[in-house]
Each structure stands twice: as C-alpha cells, then as structure tokens.
Amino acid sequence: MKVLMFNNFFQKIESRPVLTFCLLLIFHALVAIILFVVANSEYLSNLHNGQGFWNFSRDSTLYHQEAINASTFLRNSQWLDWWSSYGRHQHVKWIALVYWATGYEAPILFEIINGLVWSSSIILIYKSSKLIFNNSIVSAITVLFFFQPSILISSTQLLRDPFFILGICIMCYGWAILKKNKNNLGIVLILIGSVLFISMRPYLSVVLFAVFFYYSIKLILNKEISIFTISLLIVPLFIITELGLENRYLTSFFQSFEIQNNSNKGENILDPLLIQNNSNKGENILDPLLIQNGNNKSTVFWQAVTSMSNELATKVSERRYGFRTVNKSAGSKIDSDKSYNSFVDAILYFPRVVQVAFLSPFPSHWIKTGKETGRIGRMLSGLEMLSWYFIILGFLYIVFTKPLVIEPLLPIITLSVFVIIMLGYVVPNIGAIYRMRQGFMIPFYMVGVYGIYSFIELINKKT
C-alpha cells in the first residue's frame, strides 16, 4: 500500500516536470542566498572570510578575481581574449559573462548558472535511474545525493565541481539511452557530457577515452551496436580528447601545480609514453624491437616492461610528493610520507589505497575539528560517509546478485573506479580525496540505492 502511494506521488511529480524544475531552482537559490548572507556577516566567522567566501571553497576567491579580470575583455569587446582567457579554469569565462551581463561583480550572481546546473543534474540522474531500474522510488532516493550538505553547499559557490558533476550526469543518461533504447541521442549526450568532463579536468581526457573506447569494442564484439554507430561516438570523442590534451597544463594529477621532469623538461611525467630510453633518445622503451642488445627478445621485452612499471611508480610518487608540498598546511593529511620506489611497492600499497580512496574520512575523523570546515563540517561528512558505507554494501549486493543490471553504467563505473584509486595513490589528503571523488560516486549511488531497495524487498517477501 505504501509503495503504491509513493509511486502515485512520484508519478504526479513526473507529470509536472516544469514545475518540479522551477521548485528545484527556487530551493537552490534560497540556499545560495542564505549562505551568501551568512558569509558576509560575523556569524560563523571562523568558517568564512566575511566577504562572501567560505573557507571550504577557498578556490572561489581565485575564480572570482579571474572572472573580474576576464570581464574586462567583454567590456572592451575583446571576445576572443575572453574566450581564450584562463584556460585552466574554463568555468571562469561563464562567471565573467554573468558579471558583465549584470553589471555587478558579486559571487551570488553566479547562482543564475549554478541553480540551472544543480537542478539539471538532479533531473538527469532521476531519468537515468528510472530508465535503468524502472523504479520511481529508487530514482527519487538516488537524487538525495545532490541534497547532501557537501554537494548542495559547494554547488552554490564559484567552483568547477558542479560542472564536472553535470558532465558525469549527462554521460550516465547518455549511456543509459544508448544501452537501453539503442538511440543515437545517447551518443550526443555522451559527447556533450565528455566535453564538460574534459573541459573541467583535461588531465582525465585520456582515461575517459580509453575506457569508452574499450567498452565500445565490447559492444561491437557482442553485436549490440554497429561499427558505424560506435564510430559516431569514438571519432568525435577522439577529437575532443586531443583538444583536451592540447589545452592540458603541467599540473599535478589532481591539483594545479607544476612538477618538471628533470630529464625531460616540459613533458607530463605521468605519461609513460613520454619516458625516453637513455640509450635511444626519442624512442619508446616499450618497444622491444628498438632495444639493441644481444639478449633474448622476450627477456628484453619484460625488462622493458619492468623498467617502465618502476618508472611509472616513481613518477606517481613524485606527483604524491608534489601534492604534499603544495598542501603542506592542510589539516587532513594521511600517509603523507609514503612513496613508491618500485612498481611492486605500489602494488603492495594497493589495499591501503582502496581503503583510503573509497572509505575515508574514517569514523575517527568524524568527531575532530576540521581546519577549514570546523567540527560541524566534520560531523556532516561523517553522516554522509555513514550513508556511503550503506551505498557501497548495496552496490556490492547488486554486483554479486544482479550484475547485468549495472551494464548501462559500466563505462562510468569503470572510469570512476580507476580515478578514485588513482586519487588514493596520488593525493595524501583525506579532505581533497573526499571532494574530488564526489562526482565519481554518482554511479555507485544509483546502483547502491537499487541494491538496498532490492535487499529490503527480498527480506519483506521472506517475512
């Protein structure tokens, strides 16, 4: 009876999408205004600077100043300069556009776009979940992800994370349509989501392309989608990836700072293809045919693979050290002195990486006072993590009992797992991991909520 009532309620909501979207916009605007007013007052003064910016989103002050500078180009009708300005922070140009269009340079004005981004993300995830699981209750519970304090509050600031999350939401819906309905609209949505994804995090462009490419090969081999249809996705995606690489800067894997490779200045030290063989400059050490010695070719090949693996582990260790250096004043460091001297060393650290990447902050951190968010921030993160633990259990339940259900989300899940694990390897800071993995938690929430619902349904049937 209760389930029927809930279904009727959600059907009424679905029948009025415009009204629902408007209500979401109004709710988000109210939250943004309240936060802005508090951030300009003396209330909770230890958590903000009194000028409209919260400590947890300290990057907003930088983006605000960059937007003010970029808006000067618009006032001078220098449109090309505006468009090409601050390539490392693509969303700044939209903040500048809002400042120029309204004539005011106040961060609250960006709510015009922030509200649309947040509300659109909710609608997309609801539709994705409904299409995949065909259950309104599950879909409605899934969207609670966006009402978590950390997600909701950060979506009101001048951050790029909401755009990144929107990109993932669009890709989730695109893959759901492509897999369930075999509709080319799915390809269009995947490409749009990829553009948002790569523009916000260009250093992940190769990872995204690799995951989507191999999954597309799987679809072709299983004769689920034609080669022509997949080419409509892969070819533009390859171009988007190349453009992302062109705009990529020497940054840490997940932070904006530069680390130069001593032997190869100006090259990305995370890319093993750029590691030069000392005896054959300009040649790829992965190619055994380019290594000229008298050893057996098979032996030489594995020596090259071992050398490359150790070199890659060293470079990841350098990234970790660079992140630690830039964030040496952070208050939530973890295993900050850990380094990887070899590939084996990195493999042995893998269980700890999974633990930190997926399960931190741990309960011991929930009651401490955060440096940027205070005690209340840590407590809220604890509540979110408690729900996350149940989500993980629900996700694992589906993986072992109904693995085919997650097929439409498999490319996004694969991408998320890879990036979250790399976060554990590279970022020795729990707070940074917590914030940077948020978008990648979405597919786990979708499947996890369905898993919890299915488990409860199973228990009810037995009782």
Contacts of 173 (CB under 8 A, 6+ apart): 124, 125, 127, 128, 131, 186, 189, 193
SS3 277: strand
Strand extents, DSSP E, 406-446:
none
pLDDT score of 310? 75
pLDDT score of 10? 62
Distance CA 284, CA 291 (A): 9
pLDDT score of 152? 96
The secondary structure of 344-392 as a DSSP string is: HHHHHTHHHHHHHHHHPSPHHHHTSPBTTTHHHHHHHHHHHHHHHHHHH
pTM of the complete model:
0.84
pLDDT score of 110? 97
pLDDT score of 252? 40
pLDDT score of 123? 96
Contacts of 270 (CB under 8 A, 6+ apart): 203, 253, 315, 316, 319
DSSP 333: B
Phi then psi for residue 255, to 5 deg, are: -145, 160
Q: Give the chain's radius of gyration (CA, Å).
A: 23
Look at residues 71, 82, 79, 74 and name the one whose alpha carbon lies nearest to residue 109. 71
Distance CA 395, CA 452 (A): 8
User: Do residues 185 and 152 touch, judged by C-beta distance below 8 A?
Assistant: no
User: What b/e readout covers 207-238, taking b as 16+ CB neighbours within 10 angstroms?
Assistant: bbbebbbebbeebeeeeebeeebbeebbebbe
Phi then psi for residue 172, to 5 deg, are: -60, -45
Q: CB 65: neighbour CB atoms within 10 A? A: 12
pLDDT score of 218? 93
Per-residue pLDDT 10s for the chain (463 aa) are 555 555 666 666 777 888 999 999 999 999 999 999 999 998 888 888 899 999 888 899 999 999 999 999 999 999 999 998 998 899 999 999 999 999 999 999 999 999 999 999 999 999 999 999 999 899 999 999 999 999 999 999 999 999 999 999 999 999 999 998 888 999 999 999 999 999 999 989 999 999 999 999 999 999 888 899 999 999 999 998 887 665 544 334 434 433 333 333 333 333 333 333 343 444 443 344 444 454 566 677 666 767 777 777 777 777 777 776 666 556 677 877 788 888 888 898 899 999 999 998 888 877 776 666 667 777 888 899 999 999 999 999 999 999 999 999 999 999 999 999 999 999 888 888 998 999 999 999 999 999 999 999 999 888 7
Distance CA 303, CA 309 (A): 10
Distance CA 65, CA 420 (A): 31
Distance CA 352, CA 345 (A): 12
Helix axes 111-133, 92-102, angle to 10 degrees: 130
Distance CA 453, CA 7 (A): 14
